[in-house]
Structure 1
Amino acid sequence: MKERNQYREIEDFLADESFRLWMRSKKDLSGWEEWTLEHPKRAKLVEEARLWLLAMKVPDNNMSQEKLNAALQSTWMKIEKTEQESKMELKLIQLWSTAWVRKIAAVLVFGLLSVYVYNNYFASKTYYSSYDEIVNNLDEDGLLEQINNSNKPQIVTLSDGSSVLLQPKSKLSYPKIFTGNERNVYLSGEAFFEISKNPKKPFFVHANEIVTKVVGTSFRIKAYANQSNVEVLVRTGKVKVKSEKAIRNSSQEEIVLLPNQALRFTRKDQTFDKITDITMDKSISSSVKSIEQLSFEFTDIPVSQIFKTIEQAYSVEIDFPQQELEKCHLTTSLSDQPLPEKLKIICKSIGNNSSYTMNGNQITILSKGCN
């Protein structure tokens, strides 16, 4: 029997005796409930297998593959028989309804039903792809998820050295370690990204209906599930934006954004509006955060002042030996660098084996003073 982690088809579950026992008698002797909770992406298959068991009325004794196939075939024949009976009833109704009034009435009813079904089941879904849908449909396992339920931003450091400033009521899913030729993360809400440069491994942010592609740059994405628009604003570098639907259909050109440019995606109309000067858009200009306004170019500036700038930008707290670093001044450029890289550059410039540790939004600088 295959290891249950390798189950990919309904038949795999149906052929498992312990699974059938759990479904039929609710005796979970093999930890199926815990396994299902640990593998939420398989929950749909588990539910479908349960429905098959109910439809086939599978007995609790051992079932050979031949019996399993026969039971599946029998169920399919029942389904096909029901569909054939439904089609036959429809033909009889059509033969009976020959009067022109009934034909017109049927057309009107069909038209109204079509409009209702489209508006209620298709129209809304064509312009809305949720974060949960995208994440749950992924093949990769082991994604980490950071949810910010606090009232202030949280810093998230990725395995490649990139940093993400996650705003309240937002969540981010990302792999523990990036593998393959791409770096993919998934956002619902608002976050400011500073991406570590790696031209061979482009970085993709999937935010509901849109995908933002970068190599190394800083930008903000605002994509709350309950808001009508999705926005992308570039601070440094260049990004390319495309819709999830366009990627699947290999259509639509990528929209390129440069520094101080933005893009607004309207969910209802599925339209993109490129904004070449963010100062001319009141909605976007009023939402600019500290991290997007502060300068990280320092010329003979006290280290303590540099730390204050970082605290203000990232909503973090930095603990450092004030007496040892009191007379330390630095001239350095920290623009377009993720937070971990900024801290590395500062510690290297200070010297004397200076280093830092980071625990959430708390940063500790270890140093014996300047060179």
Structure 2
Amino acid sequence: MNGSDYNLLIEKYLSGTVTLEEEAMLEKYLEENPVHSPELLPYEKAEIGNRIRKRLFANTIRKPLRPMYFQMLAAAAFVIISGLVLYFVRDKNSSMTAVTTALNDRKEAFEVRNTSRKPQRVTLEDGSEIILQPNSKLSYPEHFGDRKRIVYLKGEAFFKVKRNPAKPFVVSTDNLATQVLGTSFNVKSHARSVEVQVATGKVSVYEVGESHAASKNGVILTPNQKIIFDKASRKMELGIVKNPLMLKTAADTPAFNFTEVPVAAIMETLESTYGINIVVEGDMLKNCLFTGDLNDLPMFQQLQLICKSVNVEYEQRGTSVFVFGEGCL
């Protein structure tokens, strides 16, 4: 029996829905194994704690387990409740405020697990769309509260959020919260890190602590920017997404077919098209011209072809691109 099965049987026993066969399995497991608590999402821990407390203190008549096993089960319940108290009161890295808000706001929680090999589409009540990747889990309330729209993610998902300035949308992972008003972005929650990539709009990303504040360790991301948060060091590394997308519509996108065009002007076109800061060091491009068709090429490939043609190089530093070299002087 794994941790998930054990936890499920605990819940079913305390709610009075356990079968005789399941009860026998639980008795055997308690006899052969020490009590432990499986890994859960924050709201799941609170939910199980509530159920346990209600069951332990309610005046309910049901067929009891044998005395020895009941004592062991009570011990298991005590461990879980004690863990919940420590989780909400003492753990400085917990998402206490976010979880409390979500529990106060929601009526029923839904959970979607993508166990298939293909991405799965999830549509929330506010019209927001989520593409949940394989081996990922999303938890969200049936009805959002009045203050925020909070969902919980384990794994990877792409979010296209319906704009609502009065009610920010928050994606909570183990150690990081991503908050937006209305935009599209991707979140990958790994065992050691969390990565957020922005496609459109602005996204506030901050470490989750007791105060749930963004000011201590947080950043604002714009389109084609990303951040990688290392859970162990608690450091955030800013960068540019692997394949930046054009910010403008097809009608407004400039043609990338150039004939004897100053390279400095092309760099400005790339900067405005992709929303990425391009810094040219010195005047090496002042006399450089470029001829070529760059249509249908990714941004970094466009940049590489331009730089090679005029004897310069580029380097990505954080969310900016620096161009340097001899050039055409």
TM-score range, shorter chain: 0.3 to 0.5
Task: Indicate the structure with greater helix content.
Answer: 1
Larger radius of gyration: 1
> What's the TM-score, normalizing by structure 1?
0.42
> What's the TM-score, normalizing by structure 2?
0.47
Task: Indicate the structure with greater strand content.
Answer: 2
